[in-house]
Every structure is written in C-alpha cells, then in structure tokens.
C-alpha cells in the first residue's frame, strides 16, 4: 500500500486508472466508436485529468508518448494480440521491469494473470520475476487478475470467469503471489465485491471497467466497489469511447475520490 501511495497509483487510498492497451489486446477496431482515441496524444492528454491516478499503457506508447503527459505511468508488462488463437490463455512479457523503470520511467507495473489456464504455471513463474524485480526497485505491481481457460470452463463448480467465487479466488491469488493491487471483473453486486475485498486482504482491489455501458449503471457499479471497500476503478473503453470523456472522468472522480453516490453525481 505504501508503494502504491508513493507511486501515486493510490491517492489517499483511492485509485482511478485510465487503461489504454486496447490497440494491442483488441486491435484498432476499439477506436472506431471515437476515432480520435486512435491517436495516443489524445488519450495521454485525457490522463492529465485530475481524477486519474495512473495511465496504464504498453511499452511502445510509454516510450513514444510518456513525455506528453503528467500522469503517473503504469507500464503493462505483458499482452498479446487478438489475432492469436492459442490452445489456452497465456500472455507473454513484452517489457522487462528494468526497462519499464529505468528507460520508461514507470511509476508502477502491471501484469495479466490467467490463473486456471493450462499455462498457469508458466505465468506464475513469469510473475515471480516481475514481482521480485519490481519490489526490489520499490515499484508496485498491479495484477490484472483474470482467471480463465480450460481449468475454469471444465470445472462444473464455477459458472465462468465472472463467478463471484472465481473473482474472490483471483483476488486471493494476487495477495498470495505478492501483488499490491488486483484488477478484477465486477462480481455483480456489493456483497460479492465485499467478499472479494476481504479475500484480497492487504492487496488493494480495483474493478475493471469492461466494455462500454450506460453511464448510470456504470457509476453505480463503481459506487458499490467503493462502498465494498474497493480502491476504485481501472477503465478504458467506458471513457475513451464516449463523446465527452472528460465528463465521465469528472463523475468518476466524484464517486471514487469524494465517495459520492451515482445518483448524486448524475
């Protein structure tokens, strides 16, 4: 938590991460609803919004646009394209911790973990090195904690990767493996989110924004994350795909940093 505060990813215990790695993970089509979002300059400027505590991007954008923003940089260390159709989920490391910190000036690093995939063991081993190298440098680690793959699909105990039990388990894995923050899917309700937060214990929890939804519905889910003891939100499409991305950032700031309700804000 100290590392998260000193990095700025957490500000007084709250976090609003603007995520912008969709060009790699989903492809350019994610920018079609708001074409200017294709230009990194636009999103790096958005990240200057006061409510944003960190901007999460891949190495290439950090390297070429990092100087154009005042936002804290959360360099995402692994990722794949959506062109790839592997036998089961795996996300290769595209950036070393050393490069992120020394060359890109990363304030924090992020790593996607697909527990439950046939490649879980390999990812655990990759994560070991990331976590240790980052902490030795005093840099916090955010785990994109997304269980998925054959281990989840073939297990009749779980309804899928949004099953609240799976999300609680994901948050616990983040704690056990030494992540400072877990980015998880929304488990569907306040009480489920509270369980997630309890299982994460000292590891902070933020909700993943997901695909674009109605503003009210979206803000309500963020509100319930805060009420459940979560630290906030990591959001991409629900901001940059909107016509007025600053407005939604204003509102998110109210809900996350000032703990207002969705109804108060809208």
Per CB under 8 A, which of residues 112..141 are in contact with a copy of itself?
A: 115-118, 120-122, 124-125, 127-128, 131-132, 135-136
Among 7, 15, 37, 58, binds a copy of itself (CB under 8 A): 58
Terminal-residue alpha carbon distance, the chain: 31
Nearest CA to 197 out of 205, 189, 208 is that of 205
Q: Are 44 and 245 in contact (CB under 8 A)?
A: no
Please, what's the largest Cα pairwise distance for the chain?
49
Among 45, 103, 220, 250, binds a copy of itself (CB under 8 A): 103
- Establish if 163 lies at the interface with a copy of itself (CB under 8 A): no
Nearer to a copy of itself, 138 or 211 (CB): 138
Q: Which segment (47-55, 196-204, 232-240, 253-261) binds a copy of itself by CB under 8 A?
A: 196-204
Q: Which segment (200-208, 212-220, 222-230, 250-258) binds a copy of itself by CB under 8 A?
A: 200-208
Helix (H) or strand (E) holding 143: strand 141-145
Q: Are 189 and 201 in contact (CB under 8 A)?
A: no
Q: Which residues inside 236-255 make contact with a copy of itself, applying CB under 8 A?
A: none
Among 11, 59, 183, 185, binds a copy of itself (CB under 8 A): 59
Least separation in angstroms between residue 6's CB and a copy of itself is 16
- Give the Å distances, CA to CA, from 60 to 104, 155, 195, 256, 266: 9, 38, 37, 29, 36
Is 260 annotated in the active site? Answer: no
Could you give the string, one character per residue 82-101, with x where binding to a copy of itself holds by CB under 8 A and - elsewhere?
A: xxxxxx--xxxxxxx--x--
- Establish if 24 lies at the interface with a copy of itself (CB under 8 A): yes
Nearer to a copy of itself, 69 or 203 (CB): 203
The Cα–Cα gap between 174 and 245 comes to: 30
Nearer to a copy of itself, 60 or 260 (CB): 60
Q: Are 115 and 127 in contact (CB under 8 A)?
A: no
The Cα–Cα gap between 185 and 218 comes to: 13
Which residue among the candidates 14, 59, 183, 185 is catalytic per the annotation? 183
The Cα–Cα gap between 183 and 235 comes to: 10
Least separation in angstroms between residue 124's CB and a copy of itself is 4
* Helices assigned H by DSSP within 19-119: 22-25, 40-46, 59-65, 97-98
Strand 54-58 relative to strand 181-184, pairing: unpaired
- Establish if 155 lies at the interface with a copy of itself (CB under 8 A): yes
- Establish if 201 lies at the interface with a copy of itself (CB under 8 A): yes
Q: Which segment (6-14, 150-158, 204-212, 251-259) binds a copy of itself by CB under 8 A?
A: 150-158
Supply the residues annotated as catalytic.
183
């Amino acid at each position: 938590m100290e590392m998260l505060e000193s990095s700025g990813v957490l500000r007084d215990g709250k976090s609003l991460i603007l995520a912008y790695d969709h060009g790699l993970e989903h492809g350019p089509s994610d920018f079609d609803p708001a074409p200017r979002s294709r230009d990194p300059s636009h999103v790096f400027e958005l990240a200057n919004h006061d409510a944003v505590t960190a901007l999460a991007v891949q190495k290439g954008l950090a390297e070429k646009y990092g100087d154009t923003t005042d936002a804290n940089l959360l360099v995402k260390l692994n990722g794949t394209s959506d062109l790839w159709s592997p036998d089961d989920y795996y996300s290769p490391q595209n950036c070393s911790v050393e490069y992120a910190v020394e060359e890109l000036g990363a304030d924090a690093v992020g790593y996607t973990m697909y527990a439950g995939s046939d490649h879980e063991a390999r990812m655990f081993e990759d994560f070991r090195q990331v976590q240790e190298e980052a902490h030795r440098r005093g840099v916090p680690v955010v785990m994109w904690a997304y269980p998925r793959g054959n281990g989840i699909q073939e297990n009749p105990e779980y309804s899928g990767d949004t099953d609240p039990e799976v999300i609680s388990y994901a948050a616990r894995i983040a704690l056990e493996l030494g992540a400072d923050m877990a980015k998880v899917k929304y488990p569907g309700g306040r009480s489920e989110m509270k369980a997630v937060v309890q299982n994460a214990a000292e590891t902070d929890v933020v909700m993943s924004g997901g695909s674009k939804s109605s503003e009210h519905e979206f803000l309500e889910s963020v509100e319930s994350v805060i009420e459940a003891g979560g630290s906030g939100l990591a959001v991409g499409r629900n901001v940059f795909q909107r016509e007025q991305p600053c407005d939604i950032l204003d509102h998110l700031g109210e809900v996350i940093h000032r703990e207002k309700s969705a109804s108060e804000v809208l």
